Structure 1
Amino acid sequence: MTDISATAGVLPRAAVDRTARTRLAYLDGWRGLSIALVLIGHFFPVPGINLGVLGVEFFFVLSGRLMAEILFIERFPLKKFFKRRFSRIYPALLVFVIAAMMGLASTFIAFKWKAALTALTFTYNYAGILVNRAGALDHIWSLAIEEHSYVILALISVVVSGRANVVRLLVALSLLAMANGAISYWVLGMDYETSYWRTDVHIASILLSAAICMLKADGRLPAFLRNQHVALAAAAGAVLLFLDTVPTPVHYLLGVPLLALAVNTLDFAGGYLTGLLSSRPMVMLGLWSYSLYLWQQPFYKFVYDRDGAPIPMLAAVFACALASYYIVEKPARGWLNRNW
């Protein structure tokens, strides 16, 4: 993400800096909300709804919005874009996987070297279905989809000219991916992982959010969708559609579009919502979200598989995640961005 918002050149420098800080704090708050849902869903599950799944979808639709802003609206240079993605993602992932291979294998659950290799090559979402899995790495399926989406969106930004054409393509690919998931699950009888761990299915969440973001930026989003009450209703509807009683494909055929709309339009709600998402606790959770995402999985599996006490395990997640963020993720990202 660039440090200056798209309003640069229109507002005075000081106003631009304030706008950028507010915008980044707000988006970090979205990340904070997403990881909070994942942690609650994994360590303190709420009967009737899988908040972990909902939190992952929040991450996906937020990622779609951010990638659209970076690649299609701000036109961030691709070389710099991929360098920053690498510096953000890979050092912390590498340390986590090595730590898992060295320590978690004997401490928590069975660990497999092939699974570690597929995690480090961002192929786990397919290899976990077809070849080999390790419970401590099962969450890497979603990171693999994120990485694949970076490549696909970057290619689209180079090959397809005109933002209207890009939006049409993103919507078409999203509809195909959602139909692919529904057919895999309902018609072919595949289970959740086999259907929805795949990039050719789950990328719909990212692409559809990117399309909505571009429509909003170009002023082509229908006026009624820019209403704060509609945005809040979309968010509420998305949550209800992720209830356990709702068939899985419906989560993605109806719930994800509503969630994508909410993440892109809840800015219009303003006031208390923006204040909550920009609050220091939510922003800090957002800053730590990637390290929390990495480290929660093995401790969650310990709670889930061995009936471990959730509060000590969650405390261990934060301890490992904060160490990862301040010792690995943040220093490595800063060094690579300065020197690469």
Structure 2
Amino acid sequence: MKLAYRPEIDGLRTIAVLAVIAYHLEVVLGGMQLLKGGFLGVDIFFVISGFLITSIIMSEYHSPQGFSLGNFYERRARRLLPALFTVILFSFPVAWYLLLPSQLEDFAKSVLSTLAFGSNFYWHIGLQEYGAESAQLKPLLHTWTLAIEEQYYIFFPLILLTIYKWCKSHTVTILLALLLLSLQFAVYITPIDHSFSFYMLPTRFWELLTGSLLANILYYHPKAKNDTLLKKAMPFIGLFLIIHSLFFVDFESNHPGFITLLPVLGTALIIWFGNRDELFTKVLSSKLFVGIGLISYSLYLWHYPIFAFGRIIESTPTWQNKVLWLLLTFAFSLASYVLVEQPFRNKRVIKIKLFLLTSAFMTAFISLTAFSMMETGKAQEIDIKAEMHKRLIWGDGFEVCQPIRETDTLDHRGCNTPADKKNILIVGDSMAPDATRIVGNAFPNFRYIISNCGGCAPMTPKQAAETRHPERFKKISKIRYSKDALKGIDGVIIMTLMADPRYIEAYVKHLKNNGMSNVIIFGNYIKVKDKVSDYYLKHNNQKSVEKLVKNNLFTAEKFINYDTLMVSIAKKYSIDFVSIKNDACSNDSDCPIFIADKPFSWDKHHYSVEFSRHLSKAMKESLFNTWLGSL
């Protein structure tokens, strides 16, 4: 069977790519995001890819020349690699100029993972949440979809050829079974590990297989045999399913899963029953839709790095910024389609030897450049890491007991609690050491016992079981809530980074129920979206760093609201609340960023040693007015 060109499929590509672009552009109308389900455009692409790839394999397999795996991989490489290389090359100088050291290292790693067809693994491990705010600043995040398709291109032909060789008559049944297994796995794993489900091939396999299954069905049952009524109705039903999903499905849905059936089945119905006499097929086959569809791959490649670099330059983009990004995306995409995609896909223009040599050279050059960027980013951070390590050296002229390293269960019962010293228990997440240095410098005659755990605020074992790290958090929670936890303790100080107020209230209630009335809750200071050390390395001018920090604060309102909630808990249980911001800042907008030529933090929120010592002096009077002053 000769593989006929179907212009409406290019039209479907247009819908898919414009939906993805609109979603990433974050167009808001009337206070609502336009196409909040635009991320599902990727799933439309997956179905189209599965259909076209399988159609090509089947057409060649049944031709007199037969199917050549080498030729298949060559065509896929010609289709994907030249434009991808071009986007990466253009991104290098922009990344070098704009990105901070840690961002540059991250970008270089993402380049290498992209070249290895494994960026979905990289983003699953390193980023986790696709919808997170930081994801918008990752120029090559979108390559996870290419990785899935590339992995599919590598393995699926081998699977299909094996089926054809041993059980060809059961092809549809086997593909359907694999599809259903993959869909069921996605439905099962998405609530458990959304990152894995989102980025990995096993949970996306069924979407590509939908297209592959459809290709097999249409090969053995051509559209001419389909019912006329179905050919009229099904494309419109498919259109409805796609439009509904793009407008009304949001990212918080259990996707991929049953909800993803909407765009997947919608795409399949349009491909299956689309015909020249049907209105919607005519629209999809129009010059405008086909024209955008032809450059859809370049549009997809270019839009995300342009948007990401744009947001790095302007963190709160205006609609004028977004229009400019859009124009640049179309301009670069059209240029790369004409100058790169078309020539490299033409075997008569770019011979196989030249293509292989060019690809090998580009792979080597891009890899070496990425390694160089990565090492540059690392080298710049060496001195900063030494500064950051200083805050984890306990004891600053006062006695500190940290029985076991931070990542283990910190059972303070392993410390001696002599009667001749007052013992203060510091409980919190990774901010607890900062509280220890603040209080310890103000009251050096006390003995301090640290119960800290990265990301683990004081919470009940039941609450810990519902977190992302249940086993680790339950372990320390059981110790914190044990009957001997407060033995020999004269007072408790709680410090966390904006923990869930329910956790703090439950722990305070536990302390009060067990006779501990000497309790202080510390407020928060500020948090920055990027590492302060990156600003420090990139712009060693103190005023520039201060400006960058103040322009990139992480939702200051949330910190104010958190402190307000902590005050209400303190009043409810008759304990003390000490505000760090009130003593550190002269007003809400004038909070010190540098102390003794050192920033308040080397990362995003943990205090530098110099800043903790400064806070100890600034907060001494407030601390003295609590029970600490009367011990």
Partner of 1:84: 75
Q: Computing the radius of gyration over CA atoms, which structure comes out larger, 1 or 2?
A: 2
State the shift of 1:68 in Å. 1.8
Partner of 2:268: 261
Spell out the pairing of 1:150-189 with structure 2 (5 A cutoff): 150-161=153-164, 163-186=168-191, 188=192
Q: Which moved more, 1:292-301 or 1:220-229?
A: 220-229
Q: Distance in 2 between matches of 1:169 and 1:251?
A: 24
Higher relative contact order (CA 8 A, sep 6+): 1
Partner of 2:346: 334
Partner of 1:68: 54
Q: Do 1:35 and 1:292's aligned partners in 2 also have CA atoms closer than 8 Å?
A: yes
- The 1:44/1:247 distance shift into structure 2, 3 A limit, reads same
Q: Distance in 1 between matches of 2:175 and 2:123?
A: 27
Matched, 1:205 2:196: no
Q: Distance in 2 between matches of 1:316 and 1:219?
A: 44
Q: Distance in 1 between matches of 2:348 and 2:184?
A: 40
State the shift of 1:304 in Å. 5.9
Q: Do 1:156 and 1:166's aligned partners in 2 also have CA atoms closer than 8 Å?
A: no
Partner of 1:316: 328
Partner of 1:273: 280
- The 1:40/1:237 distance shift into structure 2, 3 A limit, reads same
Q: Do 1:124 and 1:140's aligned partners in 2 also have CA atoms closer than 8 Å?
A: yes
Structure 2 residue corresponding to 1:55, chosen from 18, 41, 56: 41
Spell out the pairing of 1:12-27 with structure 2 (5 A cutoff): 20=4, 23-27=5-9
State the shift of 1:7 in Å. 4.5
Partner of 2:150: 147
- The 1:74/1:228 distance shift into structure 2, 3 A limit, reads farther
Matched, 1:250 2:258: yes
Partner of 2:388: none
Letter of the 1:299 partner, please give it: I
Letter of the 1:228 partner, please give it: K
Letter of the 1:331 partner, please give it: P
State the shift of 1:303 in Å. 5.7
Secondary structure of the structure 2 residue equivalent to 1:139: helix
Partner of 1:36: 18
Structure 2 residue corresponding to 1:101, chosen from 72, 92, 96: 92
Q: Distance in 2 between matches of 1:70 and 1:337?
A: 22
- The 1:261/1:333 distance shift into structure 2, 3 A limit, reads closer
State the shift of 1:204 in Å. 1.2
State the shift of 1:331 in Å. 1.9
- The 1:80/1:176 distance shift into structure 2, 3 A limit, reads same
CA deviations over 1:242-293 (Å, ceiling 9, x no partner): 52365433322x3254234324224147432222222222121112111111
Letter of the 1:103 partner, please give it: V
Q: Do 1:28 and 1:286's aligned partners in 2 also have CA atoms closer than 8 Å?
A: yes
Letter of the 1:214 partner, please give it: N
Letter of the 1:42 partner, please give it: H
Q: Distance in 1 between matches of 2:90 and 2:210?
A: 35
Q: Distance in 1 between matches of 2:84 and 2:305?
A: 14
Secondary structure of the structure 1 residue equivalent to 2:173: helix
State the shift of 1:144 in Å. 0.8
Q: Distance in 1 between matches of 2:310 and 2:259?
A: 26
Structure 2 residue corresponding to 1:229, chosen from 214, 230, 233: 233
- The 1:114/1:121 distance shift into structure 2, 3 A limit, reads same
Q: Distance in 2 between matches of 1:303 and 1:233?
A: 38
- The 1:269/1:99 distance shift into structure 2, 3 A limit, reads same
Q: Distance in 2 between matches of 1:64 and 1:265?
A: 13
Cα RMSD between the aligned structures?
2.8
Q: Do 2:119 and 2:144's aligned partners in 1 also have CA atoms closer than 8 Å?
A: yes
Partner of 1:297: 304
TM value normalised by structure 2: 0.46
State the shift of 1:85 in Å. 0.8
State the shift of 1:330 in Å. 1.9
Matched, 1:286 2:293: yes
Letter of the 2:262 partner, please give it: G
- The 1:198/1:179 distance shift into structure 2, 3 A limit, reads same
State the shift of 1:333 in Å. 2.4
- Report the number of matched residues: 318
Letter of the 2:345 partner, please give it: R
- The 1:256/1:165 distance shift into structure 2, 3 A limit, reads farther
Please identify which structure carries the higher strand content. 2
Q: Distance in 2 between matches of 1:50 and 1:31?
A: 18
CA deviations over 1:121-167 (Å, ceiling 9, x no partner): 11001121124787111110111111111122210232112554222
CA deviations over 1:103-135 (Å, ceiling 9, x no partner): 234336834211110011110011211247871
Q: Do 1:232 and 1:266's aligned partners in 2 also have CA atoms closer than 8 Å?
A: no
Partner of 1:13: none
Structure 2 residue corresponding to 1:307, chosen from 308, 313, 316: 316
Identity %: 26
CA deviations over 1:160-202 (Å, ceiling 9, x no partner): 125542222222222222222222222x2x23x3321101111
Q: Do 1:231 and 1:262's aligned partners in 2 also have CA atoms closer than 8 Å?
A: yes
Q: Do 2:214 and 2:272's aligned partners in 1 also have CA atoms closer than 8 Å?
A: no
Q: Distance in 2 between matches of 1:152 and 1:288?
A: 26
Q: Distance in 1 between matches of 2:48 and 2:311?
A: 28
- The 1:274/1:337 distance shift into structure 2, 3 A limit, reads farther
CA deviations over 1:39-60 (Å, ceiling 9, x no partner): 2222254637434312111111
- The 1:275/1:269 distance shift into structure 2, 3 A limit, reads closer
Please identify which structure carries the higher helix content. 1
Q: Distance in 2 between matches of 1:171 and 1:337?
A: 40
Q: Do 1:239 and 1:255's aligned partners in 2 also have CA atoms closer than 8 Å?
A: no
